[in-house]
Amino acid sequence: MNKLPISFLICTLNEESNIARCLDSILTQNPSEVIVIDGGSTDKTEEIVRMYKQVRFEVCSGNGLYYQRMLGVSLAEKRFIAFVDADDALSDGWALNLYNNLNNGKYSALQSRVRAVGLTKNNYLSDSWDQYFRATIKPATDCDMVGRPSLYTRESLLDYYFRSPDDNLKNYLWSEDTVMSIFFQRRGYRQGISHSTAESFRRVPQTISENLLKFMKYGKGYAAVAYFFPKKRLAILRHIVYVQPIQR
């Protein structure tokens, strides 16, 4: 069977508990290329990845996710690029489903649906995350926000990561999904969420303290986007005050 013309990129930092599960699910997708870009892990992430002979392992000298993704895009050789997080495991046929949907719909970015699972077993928090993902990531022919995991055209990512520098926008912010989606809107790139059965099963925090840390991280991202994109402030405020706690 011919391999799909897709380069899978996984950015890691101390992901020894997740990376094997992620890679196993990716390698069933018949990909042409799989690259792990590591940000300087001090655990067994590299040791585990190097057990997979068909996976390329690269260490990023830059500081942060932005530089990891940029390096991955520069190394990817295929026409389509999938961004997958290490805590995701893809359903069977994920890549083929998104590949067909993206081509048929002439998309530049297409996200799959996400389900939540606990690290060892599900509890109230992981079940709540699952309900949140169901309510949030719904199939959409067109949308203005694409997260992970997603499939992209290579040219759209090259345009994004190797654009002219913006002195007013800090590099760390370019790793935010919201910023990429805003950039894609301005460029006229079509974005959507797949109507196929493709899903990713994401490991989510299972303790209150872990969830608080994640919420704080999300909050910092929202604040930074609101600061640098004033026209988005009202939409972000509505999202935080009404959409998240009430509508969803």
**Per-residue buried b or exposed e for 139-160, using 16+ beta carbons within 10 Å of the residue's own CB:** eeeebebbbbbbbbbbebbeeb
pLDDT in tens, 54-66: 999 999 987 788 8
pLDDT of residue 204: 92
Q: Is the confidence at residue 233, as pLDDT, over 90?
A: no
Query: To which residue do tokens 């090259």 refer?
Result: 158
Residues 6+ apart with CB under 8 A from 147: 111, 137, 177
pLDDT in tens, 106-149: 999 999 999 999 877 788 888 989 998 998 899 999 998 899 99
Mean pLDDT of 188-206: 94
Q: How far apart are CA 155 and CA 55, in angstroms?
A: 23
Residues 6+ apart with CB under 8 A from 39: 11, 12, 13, 60, 64, 65, 68
Q: How far apart are CA 162 and CA 145, in angstroms?
A: 21
C-alpha torsion angle, residues 194, 197, 200, 201 (rounded to 10): 150
| pLDDT over 70, % of the chain | 95
Question: Is 192 within 8 Å of 105 (Cβ atoms)?
Answer: yes
Q: How far apart are CA 186 and CA 183, in angstroms?
A: 5
